Amino acid sequence: MTLVDGSNCRAALDNAAAAQKQWARLSVRQRGLRMHAVQTRIAQVADDLCDLITLPQRRSKTETLSAELIPLCEALRYLQRDAAKVLATRKLPLSGRPLWLWGTRAEVQRVALGRVLIIAPWNYPLFLAGVQAAQALVAGNAVLLKPAPGCEAATATLVDCFQAAVGTDLIRQVGSDPEVATRLIQAGVEKVVLTGSSTTGRRVGSVAADALTPATMELSGCDAMVVLPEADRGRVVESLLFGLSFNSGATCIAPRRIFLCQRQSDHYRKLLKQRLVQMPSIPVHPAVQTRMIEAVEDAIARGARVVGGLWDREAFERTGATPPLVLFGAQPDWPIMSADLFAPLAAVCDYASPDELADLVARAPYALAASIFGPQKEARQLADLLDVGTVTINDLIVPTADPRIPFGGRRASGFGTTRGAEGLLAMTCPRVIATQRLRHPKHLAAPTAGDEAILAGLLQLKFAAGWRLRLRGLGQMVRGIRQSRNNDSR
């Protein structure tokens, strides 16, 4: 497979544009059905895809199957089932049509954007890139897929699965050098979809802004895990350990900030100590290791306590691995409480009253997701107050893999939406077709002396408060109509 690099960007874009025009002529249902061949192929080469995931934090094939391949195939099935309904042309009913648009019929179509550049992350190189590519294709676009460094081989196999179903020009793999993505944006892709850090988001966003290219940014997280006083303590501990260890903690919506009721903090510390000291060391991605050391050492210097005394900087620098770390005694304004570290690390901050929680969660610049543990009624009430993209109650991470659910953050966690119906719509733009059916529409006629009174009366009749003012407007309209007729008779 020939990669798109700095030497062939223009040719690749031209070929993609030609292929996209042909592809967009197919119906959404026809495009969606092609995803069946993709999912079949992914299932056939699943062992190869698992073997090609060489990231240090991916510890087993089980994680690749459960976290990437099965959710990806579920998303492909969702598109086969629901894409045509989501992207169907919407004909506006006559009810609700403004009176002054009598004779006009309108419909809203969803049309492809063109060529979509997907800049994929290293932590979930198959699932996130695959879903975004599938949604872009089913929406009628061509795709240029740039993997993160280290994920090139797995991405090549994934792209092969798509190309076998849709053709080689509709989806192409881009070299992993960031400069190639920059050139493609400058050369004229119609949309950019980035999953990455907020730092990368600012850099890519600047290039896209200069080119006036729309972008969806799924950026970093420093997610809160809120524990209400009445929460099931066993569920809380199991969920936290799962969140810290799943994909070695390299998940954008893993728990980073834990908010515990002050009077229960010591009890949770004892429960966690019993479990943490039994857990094995977990590898941390090299790109994260230096920042993790800085965050942990800074928190300890400020007075944080590592549960079980598990932090060993010398061993971590030597091996790049550590048991999951939970630091108690953190304060909301500490750097660790706003650090987007993709590692098995969480900081615990106590709260005195549940009334503080919404403000505490909002203290970090990131607003990707949050999880709340406790009685459903109280948890739902708090969820309605949180300024984040996704809230899970009595669970974390896994529910967001539902292919029907949109995903996106706010503030430093990005903007725009991927996945679900909203993510599919975001791969299109609306096109309105308005048809005038009257032979002699009023607005094309020369103004008459009574038009001012008719329009002023219409304004009162439709929008004034109270029946007296509306009747007055009706009378004004009648006088205007009479005045126009008298002028016509002359």
pLDDT tens by residue, the chain, 490 residues: 678 887 788 889 999 999 999 999 999 999 999 999 999 999 999 999 999 988 777 778 999 999 999 999 999 999 999 999 999 999 999 998 887 888 899 999 999 999 999 999 999 999 999 999 999 999 999 999 999 999 999 999 999 999 999 999 999 999 999 999 999 999 999 999 999 999 999 999 999 999 999 999 999 999 999 999 999 999 999 999 999 999 989 999 999 999 999 999 999 999 999 999 889 999 999 989 999 999 999 999 999 999 988 899 999 999 999 999 999 999 999 999 999 999 999 999 999 999 999 999 999 999 999 999 999 999 999 999 999 999 999 999 999 999 999 999 999 999 999 999 999 999 999 999 999 998 888 888 888 888 888 889 888 988 999 888 888 988 988 898 888 777 655 5
Instruction: Please report the pLDDT score of residue 261 as a whole number.
Output: 96
Q: Where are the alpha helices (DSSP H) in 188-327?
A: 198-210, 233-245, 265-276, 286-302, 313-319
Counting Cα atoms < 13 Å in the Cβ hemisphere of 300 gives: 15
Instruction: Please report the pLDDT score of residue 449 as a whole number.
Output: 80
Site of tokens 């109509």: 481
Instruction: Please report the pLDDT score of residue 97 as a whole number.
Output: 87
Instruction: Please report the pLDDT score of residue 489 as a whole number.
Output: 59
pLDDT digits (tens, 9 = 90+) for 402-411: 999 999 999 9
Query: How far is Cα 105 from Cα 99, in angstroms, rounded to an integer?
Result: 12
Instruction: Please report the pLDDT score of residue 488 as a whole number.
Output: 59
Instruction: Please report the pLDDT score of residue 452 as a whole number.
Output: 87
Which candidate, 144, 150, 148, places its Cα nearest to that of 132? 144
Q: Where are the alpha helices (DSSP H) in 25-126?
A: 28-44, 46-52, 61-64, 70-86
The residues that bridge with 458 in the sheet, in sequence order, are: none
Instruction: Please report the pLDDT score of residue 441 as a whole number.
Output: 84
Site of tokens 């006009």: 104
